[in-house]
Structure 1
Amino acid sequence: MRASLRRATGAREVENARVIVDFALYRDGRRAEGPADFSDALDLARAEGNAFLWVGLHEPTEHEFSLVTSEFGLHPLAVEDALKAHQRPKLEVYADSLFVVLKPVVYDDDADTVTTGELMLFLGDCFVVTVRHGEGSPLAGVRIRLEKEPELLRRGPTAVLYAVGDAVVDQYTEVAALLQDDLNELETEVFAPLGADNRNIAMRIYGFKRQVVEFRRATVPLADPVARLAGTSLPFVDEAARPFFRDVGDHLARANEAVEALDRLLSDILSAHLAQMGVQQNDDMRKISAWAAMAAVPTMIAGVYGMNFEHMPELRQPWGYPAVVALMAGVVLGLHRWFKRKGWL
């Protein structure tokens, strides 16, 4: 494993492409050639003072991560969190590194599902180790963008933390906009006439609400770590980067406001849909009651005349039968007109 890791300098690892995404030495804001060994590269970065290492890993196992842990002196509790994943967004300070957990979010418009990944960052005096779980990570784009901005990359590991956090929060804003578009379509369907196409709207609303809850689990807990980065002094973080993190916090606040608005609007749409269903059911019950009343009157008259009695009105008259039928028809028509005026039919 050590030999495979050492061959990964400056390029995608061939034998361990699944684990090592990239390993590079950055000197004075630019990607540079360096030693193939982690220890030598780290010693070089510390000796020069204007260089740092950036190692990117994807879902490493405990054995695969053990070399990185020993070389960079990562805290075992942070390593355990990075390996097991399923963490809330957080920031923890250890003696030799800073540990940050982010949750990138991706929205599948076709399946109407929100998928969250996990992104862990270890920041030291001259190194950054990123560990990715799941999909939707913006790291590839962040690395390309940073390598085109040497002035920003000169700030070292802090620049990586800022750029990654900014990219993740920008994803939140984009996903919130996509969710809002889909929610507008759902709202239109809710207030459309009831039919076969929208009988399962309540189920869709509940499904949509679950996606928003999943989204909130990624965005809301991140507010505290970003506030700490923007407002307090932390080891391994450049003090001059506070305004940048305040900007990230502002974007995150807007994303959280959008998520809260989506949640409230979903609750309102669900209430409106249930109220609409109740009104529709009441209308259906009135119609059923009206038709039942119109059917009950002739049934009652026919039932009375079907009894075996001799002394009944007009029983012996030749016009008795058509008179009773006419009476039935007249009563039914009268009830029909009355229900029409009442709006029951």
Structure 2
Amino acid sequence: MHTRLYRHGVLEKEGFPIEEVSDHVGDPENTVWFDLCSPAPEDLAAIGRELGLHELAVEDVFGGPQRPKVDIYDNHLFIAVYGVHVTGDRFDPVEVDVFVTANALVTVRESDRFDIGAVTRRWDAASRLAGHGVTFLLHGLLDYVADTQFDLVQDLDAQVEALEESLFEGNVRDGRELQRTMYVLRKNATRLRKIASPMREMLGTLLRRDQDLVADPVMVPYYEDVYDHVLRTTEWVGEIRDMLANVRETRLSQQGFRLNEIMKRVTSWAAVIAVPTMITGFYGQNVPYPGSGQPWGFWFSTALVAVTSVALYAVFKKKDWL
């Protein structure tokens, strides 16, 4: 359980029991934040009644994964965003639902894999803006989510560039490993795109001038900065998907070229072997050929085999077929 109380832009209290929230919310000079991690439905319903949250918004928390969005109700906003938990080379989205009232911010985390401590540290680092109340708290949360996604897309881009360079190295990695790496990168890029792209629309709604809960003119440039990060992340993810498609096409072209090289060499060796086979086959028939039954015939056929084989090998080598 995480709780904070701000009064006139100053952090006065934190870590207090959630039962005290109703006492603090009643004062419009206070700004209250509290965090719930995997709450029981009845607990969130009780809080919803206390803060006057719409029943549909409360149901959305337990209604399965939500698309990143913002829903506007009479006295509050409901926002769904996603952090990303990285396990090895796998991206796991973690849903965070947010209720925004006039002087309270409620965060409901799907699990503790979302680092809420990083959000509080961001608030503390920008405490000079705390006087803007809920607008300040919401910005810190969204800024952390957007920056985390931006950092991940930077890391993805570096991995894809390294993958591109490895395609033309002398020691090309194992084909199965390369295929798995491309699959993981494309899957992570797709997951990141699904949670980053809808945030553009969500932030666009928050920046609209016709809603009052997040209409602080001082904070608007900060929200526009978050919007810019989200826009860059979305565009960058699209570029990464294109890069991965190019890597796949390049890899297929390399495999086709290598297959042609192998077939060319196999065919050349088959031609080299075919001539001696033909000559010795002629001399093995019951038909008299020059030198048949004579010692010089053996040496003649042997010399013919050697000369033609060396000649074919030299011609194919010159053409780079061997």
Please, what TM-score do these two structures have when normalized by structure 2? 0.91
User: How far 1:215 moved relative to its partner?
Assistant: 0.9
The answer as to whether partners of 1:42 and 1:53 remain within 8 angstroms in 2 is: no
1:236-315 residue pairs with structure 2 within 5 A?
236-240=213-217, 241-307=219-285, 309-315=286-292
Partner of 1:112: 89
Calculate the aligned-residue CA RMSD, in Å. 2.3
User: How far 1:200 moved relative to its partner?
Assistant: 3.4
Match of 1:341 among 307, 318, 321: 318
Asked if residue 26 in structure 1 is aligned to residue 3 in structure 2, the reply is no
Partner of 2:210: 233
Match of 1:189 among 142, 163, 166: 166
CA deviation vs aligned residue, 1:238-258 (integer Å, no higher than 9, x gap)? 332322211111111122222
Report SS of the residue matched to 1:217. helix
User: How far 1:298 moved relative to its partner?
Assistant: 1.2
Asked if residue 318 in structure 1 is aligned to residue 295 in structure 2, the reply is yes
The answer as to whether partners of 1:85 and 1:118 remain within 8 angstroms in 2 is: no
Identity %: 29
How has the CA–CA distance of structure 1 residues 53 and 205 changed in structure 2, closer, same or farther, with 3 Å as cutoff? same
Match of 1:71 among 47, 50, 53: 50
Partner of 2:30: 51
User: How far 1:114 moved relative to its partner?
Assistant: 1.9
Partner of 2:22: 42
User: How far 1:190 moved relative to its partner?
Assistant: 1.3
**Distance across 1 between alignment mates of 2:120 and 2:173:** 49
**Distance across 2 between alignment mates of 1:195 and 1:123:** 53
User: How far 1:208 moved relative to its partner?
Assistant: 1.1
The answer as to whether partners of 1:91 and 1:225 remain within 8 angstroms in 2 is: yes
How has the CA–CA distance of structure 1 residues 296 and 31 changed in structure 2, closer, same or farther, with 3 Å as cutoff? same
**Distance across 1 between alignment mates of 2:126 and 2:192:** 31
Report SS of the residue matched to 2:308. helix
**Distance across 2 between alignment mates of 1:297 and 1:63:** 87
The one-letter code of the counterpart of 2:32 is L
Q: After the TM superposition, which of the residue ranges 24-33 and 56-65 deviates more from structure 2?
A: 24-33
The one-letter code of the counterpart of 2:318 is R
Partner of 1:11: none
Match of 2:198 among 221, 234, 257: 221
User: How far 1:91 moved relative to its partner?
Assistant: 0.6
Please, what TM-score do these two structures have when normalized by structure 1? 0.85
Report SS of the residue matched to 1:239. coil
How has the CA–CA distance of structure 1 residues 24 and 56 changed in structure 2, closer, same or farther, with 3 Å as cutoff? same
How has the CA–CA distance of structure 1 residues 44 and 60 changed in structure 2, closer, same or farther, with 3 Å as cutoff? closer
CA deviation vs aligned residue, 1:30-68 (integer Å, no higher than 9, x gap)? 233599776764354333x22122110112232332322
Q: After the TM superposition, which of the residue ranges 209-218 and 22-31 deviates more from structure 2?
A: 22-31
**Distance across 2 between alignment mates of 1:144 and 1:225:** 24
The answer as to whether partners of 1:105 and 1:218 remain within 8 angstroms in 2 is: no
**Distance across 2 between alignment mates of 1:65 and 1:226:** 25
The one-letter code of the counterpart of 2:182 is I
Unaligned runs of 5+ in 2: none
